[in-house]
Amino acid sequence: MRILTVTNYYPPHFIGGYEIACKETMDFLKNRGHEIMVVTSDYQKTSRKEEGILRDMHLTDYAKSSRISKKQDEYHNYKTVLETIRHFKPDLVYFWSLRGIGLLVIKAAQQQNIPYVFEIGDFWMYGYMQKGSPLKQKIKSLLPFLGYGNTSISPAICVSEWVAREMREKYGSETTYVYPNATKIPEKKISEHTEIKFVFAGRIEEEKGLDLAIEALKRFALRHPESKFILDIYGNGDPDYIAKCKDMAEPIASSVNFKGKVTSREEIYTGASALLMPTRMREPFGLVIIEAMAHGCAVIASDDYGPAEIIDHGQNGLLFETNNINDLLSQIEKVYFDKECLKKLQENGYEHVRNHYNIQKVKSKIEVLLKEIAGVHP
């Protein structure tokens, strides 16, 4: 099967789990013998030749760009996808995030009568909605500037049940499927270190809640001054917020390490006792949760949306009330002082991911679905 994938970012550049999941899906499909062509933006484009990747679409800042500039970028992206379809002749167009790209690229697939499907890992389509329009109207009624009335975000492969529900109820997706993100399962390694090490991994922005983790650990240090720990922080993001977090961490600075952005999961999770995910946002899924579990690392996360669908509290992870620092502190104390609890969470988390989020199992099911949508029979 020939698959054309359209997405705003594609590794090595990535914002978060969405882009990583996209590349891992493409790698899986390539290994299964499918021919893959990726069309993405020219963000951080280099002169290096990349087989099967065209970095030629324009990213638009819809909040700052002029109307004319937006139209020009949208039309350029439409022509780029249209010409690629004509040249590559795909059996299926696989749309991922179109944030900053525009929805006109969908028209290219429709005009050529190519089956297409959307992978929904966040609500990128929200930015294309007109102010004041009822949320429950379909995307096609919200985007008259396309000049093309048959635009809808359907069929949609959604990463969680709550995302699928929202796509149906707020964005008018008529057909939705739920297939979670997935990860590779390394050989089982449970941390046996005597010193407890916590990790935070992801974008360092206020909505991700790093300040909550730092404040909880500051309170922990005051309450238990003889109990040593390490907090390793991986990621980059908002410079002002990072500076704020560094200032907050000053009283426990000897225990806190800002490591920057890394791509190696082994570097992040080797020797880690527990991942702290104190997110404030409506997480569509939470890829870092299953990555941590797969590396034998316990997880403490906010108790709503994506994390709540993955974690069975007290069995394979711990949940705390979103934004509640004292509740987060209580969960930290559990894994710190109850070694049997920590070991149980690490072992059960690993088995949970192995059984439900194994990349081979999940992507094989998606492969079957893609063939059905494309009308390609085994």
55, pLDDT greater than 80: yes
Q: What is the mean pLDDT of residues 216-242?
A: 97
Beta partners for residue 6, in sequence order: 39, 95
Residue keyed to tokens 């003889």:
226
The 3-state secondary structure of 225-288 reads: CCCCEEEEEECCECHHHHHHHHHHCHHHHHHEEEEECCCCHHHHHCCCCEEEECCCCCCCCCHH
Contacts of 272 by beta carbon, 8 Å cutoff, 6+ apart: 191, 197, 198, 199, 232, 292, 295, 297
What would the pLDDT profile of 144-170 be if each residue is shown by its tens digit?
344 444 568 999 999 999 999 999 999
The pLDDT value given to residue 129: 52
Contact 37, 69 (CB under 8 A): no
- Report DSSP state, residue 297: -
Beta-bridge partner residues of 54: 39
Task: Determine the pLDDT at residue 253.
Answer: 97
2-182+358-374 against 196-356: fold identical? yes
Cα separations in angstroms, 217 against 137, 331, 359: 45, 11, 34
Please classify residue 66 by burial: count the beta carbons closer than 10 Å to its beta carbon, then call 0-12 exposed, 13-18 middle and 19+ buried.
exposed
More confident residue, 194 or 353: 353
Among 245, 141, 152, 163, smallest CA distance to 203 is for 245
Distance (Å) of CA 316 to CA 89, 104, 161, 230, 312: 45, 43, 19, 22, 6
The percentage of residues in the chain with a pLDDT greater than 90, rounded to a whole number, is: 80
What phi and psi values does residue 323 have, to the nearest 5 degrees? 75, 0
Say which DSSP state 48 is in: S
Q: The CATH number of 196-356 is which of 3.30.2140.20, 3.40.50.2000, 3.40.50.300, 3.40.1360.10?
A: 3.40.50.2000
Torsion of CA 162, 289, 127, 243, to 10 degrees: 140
Q: How far is CA 97 from CA 80, 105, 117, 125, 284, in A?
A: 16, 12, 12, 8, 13
Which residue from 114, 108, 107 is spatially nearest to 152, judged by alpha carbons? 107
Contacts of 305 (CB under 8 A, 6+ apart): 160, 162, 282, 283, 284
DSSP-derived secondary structure for 59-106: P--TTTS-HHHHHHHHHHHHHHHHHHHHHH--SEEEE---TTT-THHH
Instruction: Please state the rounded mean pLDDT for residues 353-370.
Output: 97
Does the pLDDT at position 143 exceed 60? no
State whether residue 177 is helix, strand or coil.
Answer: strand
Contact call for residues 312 and 41 (beta carbons, < 8 A): no
Contact 117, 373 (CB under 8 A): yes
pLDDT of 47 higher than 70: no
Under the banding of pLDDT at 50, 70 and 90, the label for residue 194 is confident
Q: Which CATH class is domain 2-182+358-374?
A: alpha beta
pLDDT at site 44: 75
193 — pLDDT class (breaks 50, 70, 90): low
pLDDT averaged over every residue in the chain: 91
Q: Decide if pLDDT at 34 tops 50.
A: yes
What percentage of residues in the chain have a pLDDT greater than 70?
92
Domain ranges of the chain: 2-182+358-374, 196-356
Residue 211 CA: distances (Å) to CA of 182, 246, 253, 352, 360: 28, 9, 14, 29, 36
How much is the average pLDDT of 282-297? 96
11-18 mean pLDDT: 82
